[in-house]
Each structure stands twice: as C-alpha cells, then as structure tokens.
Amino acid sequence: MTVPAFGLGTFRLKDDVVRRVVADALDLGYRAIDTAQGYDNEAEIGEVLQASGVPRTEVYVTTKIKPANYRRQALLDSLRQSLDKLRLEQVDLTLIHWPVPNGEVPPEEYLAALAEAHELGLTREIGVSNFNIAGLRQARAVLGDVPLATNQVEIHPYLQNRKLVAFARQEGIHLTSYMTLAVGKVMNDEVMQAIARAHGATPAQVALAWALRQGHSVIPSSTKRENLASNLVAQTLQLTDEDMAQIEGLEQGEAARIANPESARPQWD
C-alpha cells in the first residue's frame, strides 16, 4: 500500500485558514494532504499546492466523494471538478466518504463508479471511509481486482474499533485513523498525560504514536504551526508494551464515537 503513514487532515479548515495551514504543513515537511468534496476547501488547497514549489510527485493528495455525487455520472463529473479545484491531473487517492446504506444510490453503483474513475486515470488509488466489516466485504466484491487502498475510520484511544481493526488486519486492508486525538480529549486525560511525561512528549504525540504503532495511517490537523510541527514528532516516539496496554484500557466503545451522522452511517461493528 502506498497510503502515507502521516498526513495533514483539513476537516473544518476553510478559506485563508486552510491556505495558511497547508502552506505551513508543506513547509514543515508534510507530504500528504487529506481533503474532501464536503469540506469545501479543495480550491484553496489547490492554490497552495500550485504555489508551494513542492514537486507534484512528492505530495500525496486524497479527496472524498460526497453522498450527493454517488450516481455514476455525478461521481465521475464531480471528481473531475475536484481535480480542477485542486489543479491536478490526477489525485492519489479517492474515497467514498460515507456508505449511506439506506440512500437512493446503492453501494454497487457508487463503488463501480469509483472503480471506473480509477480505470479512467482520474485517481491513482481508491478506497472507502466509515465502512463497517460488511461494507468492506461488499466493496471488495464489487471492486474485484482493483485494490482497496484504505478504509478511513474514526479510531482514537476511547473508540478503538477492535473488531474492525482485527478484520482489516486479517484481510490485509489498511486503515487510516481520523480524529485520533478525539477532538483534543486526549490532552486532558491523566493516563495519556502520564505516558507523555515519561517520554518527554505530549499527549497528542502519544495518541498518534499509538495509532502508528498499530500500522494505521494518521491525518491530524491543527491551525497552529507549532502543533503541526509537534505532531510530526510522533513518528519517532517509541511507546512501550506497557504504554500500549494502558491506552488499551481507555476504550469506551460506542459512547465515545464522535462522527456519527444518522443518515450516512452503517451499523457499526
């Protein structure tokens, strides 16, 4: 799999804020940018990418198809529009953003359309986001020989998604963890703080290192340059088995889920 282990998330970042954050991230050494049609910031990210001077081959760009564009032709047309906004000839990875199990467009149609986008060269890799185990099985069946590059899902110390993680590991499906910091909750957690002190680190770095050690990719976000720089250090933080066991004990299950739109979510495992 070529999905980078570490990238920049841009959820909720718009206008001049996303321009500044992406520019700072590229300057600091980030080489993976995660966006989505629904984030309404692809055009601003495209401006920064073009002006950055960083060679296109060095930056891995991910976008996601929003549910309103799941019909075959709408998916292909909207991805072309995303490419125009991002000022790219091809994105590195395109994801189905939410499964929308009871929506007007069946998964067979939007997954087949995603595979067609790959065949047309609009995207180098394809994947999904927020899919449960049943959804992953279905995606593989529909996509056939086209590899599923990743399933991007909410994973953090309080929602560890153990059944999904075990299935993905067994089936060789890569996972990308989003909201790895639980929207900042890890910063005030006594267990995370204690582990951080022992390593001369921050709780955010500990949470990211925990996810990385499990083999997940992470896409943290911040509006502050110093936090963007600090997050990168997580890549070199080596947690002990005892650290991992302590974090394992923070699991709260479904009560801790943050992203859970009723109209789009699957039945969580």
Give the residue ranges of the annotated binding site for substrate.
97
| Closest listed residue to residue 131, CA positions, set 90, 166, 170, 101 | 101
Q: How far is CA 7 from CA 58, 191, 253, in A?
A: 12, 26, 26
Binding site listing: 97
Catalytic residue among 39, 110, 158, 178: 39
Look at strands 32-34 and 91-96 and give their pairing: unpaired
What is the rounded CA–CA span in Å between residue 213 and residue 218?
11
Range 199-217 burial, b when 16+ CB lie within 10 A, else e: eebbbbbbbbbbbbbeebb
In degrees, rounded to 5, the angle at the alpha carbon of residue 39 between the alpha carbons of residues 142 and 8 is 85
178 is catalytic: no
Which residues participate in catalysis according to the annotation? 39
